Amino acid sequence: MWNNKTIEWLDIELTSFCNIDCPGCFRQIKRKVVNHILDTEMLSFEKLRKWITPKEFPKLKLVNFCGSIDEPTLHPELLDIVKYFNEHSVSINISSNGSTKTEKFWHDLGKEKVSVFFGVDGIDQKSLEKYRVGANFKKLQKNWRAFINAGGKATWQFIVFEHNEYLLEDAKKIADEEGFDNFRVIYSHRSDNKESKTKTRNEEQEIVCKYGIQKRVFLSHTGTLLPCCFFNSEFLQVHSGGGNETRYTKKYLELGGPLESNLKYTTPTEVIEGDMFKFIVNSWNDKPLERCWQTCKKAKQDVFVDEELK
């Protein structure tokens, strides 16, 4: 299924830091278990440069800076990291709440021609902070303007809740006027967020591995390489020393934990061709791991609706 020589897409969770508190985020939902690992660690540029090389990932086309607990723009070396991937002709996408740093930073980021998904689930301070608790609309607006004016490709990402559904058309209009390239609507599946809307889809009859098909893997802020972002929640819980035992977490510990899957101790090839990836893939033939079943059979992922504005 996976082979690092054919991987085209890498998700990277750059940090465990964030500046705001969205109630449906894993940071909040699992706060009791993961609190002590939040706002502590980040992947250094030095490590990334050493691990993610053209030799290890010769077919890499896209790096997506978006994890489960990170605000990527808080990484102090983000511009250097972006330049590194740009030099290797790898496209870059960043997911951000946008209420970070300075206009100068966002201008410099825009100059690098990256794509940024701004999480803007409202059209003013009042509606934004209903979900993006602690975000600053004025700052976010200044930042997206600096980014777009410098040539960055911006997507306005709007998560639909009961409290903001009526603002959807207004948000689209503002996004268009402000020079965003795209508008993405997310109908969230997150059950912990009571307000989130669910759209059901036809069930698949077997596991269709979303990441495998996309030739994509996920790198956690700890350096652990995972088959997909969906396993990051279980990984973060076992890494924090808490959470429920699952077949995945049991196997993770049995195989030596970080020794088997963390790039500090092993190579991407060894992880991707290693026992954990095999264990997950083999489970599909007989008794799929719960996570795979929930995510890739029952199609419980978020539903995305993209619209081009330009």
Ligand X SMILES: C[S@@+](CC[C@H](N)C(=O)[O-])C[C@H]1O[C@@H](n2cnc3c(N)ncnc32)[C@H](O)[C@@H]1O
List contacts with ligand X (CB under 6 A): 18, 22, 24-25, 66-68, 70-71, 95-97, 117, 119, 157, 159, 186, 188, 190, 193, 196, 302
Decide which of ligand X, ligand SF4, none touches 295; Cβ closer than 5 to 8 Å per partner kind.
ligand SF4
Residues 207-246 that bind ligand SF4 (CB under 6 A): 207, 209-212, 227-228, 230
Residues 257-286 that bind ligand SF4 (CB under 6 A): 280
In the complex with ligand SF4, the residue whose CB is nearer, 39 or 176, is: 39
Taking CB under 6 A as the rule, does residue 41 contact ligand SF4?
A: no
- For the bound state, the minimum distance from the C-beta of residue 55 to ligand SF4, rounded and expressed in Å, comes to 25
Taking CB under 6 A as the rule, does residue 66 contact ligand SF4?
A: no
Single out the residue of 14, 22, 109, 120 in contact with ligand SF4 (rule: CB under 6 A): 22
Could you give the count of Cα atoms lying within 13 Å of 201 in the half-sphere of its Cβ?
14
Asked whether the beta carbons of 160 and 193 are under 8 A apart, the reply is no
Give the C-alpha separation, 112 to 116, whole Å: 11
Single out the residue of 16, 27, 175, 183 in contact with ligand SF4 (rule: CB under 6 A): 27
Strand segments (E) across 46-180: 62-65, 91-96, 115-119, 153-159
Pick from 73, 168, 173: nearest CA to 117? 73
Asked whether the beta carbons of 34 and 92 are under 8 A apart, the reply is no
Taking CB under 6 A as the rule, does residue 38 contact ligand SF4?
A: no
Helix/strand/coil for 290: helix
Pick from 105, 109, 124: nearest CA to 154? 109
Phi, psi angle pair for 304, to nearest 5°: -110, 135
> Which residues of the chain form contacts with ligand SF4 (CB under 6 A)?
18, 20-22, 25, 27, 69-71, 97, 207, 209-212, 227-228, 230, 280, 291-292, 295-296
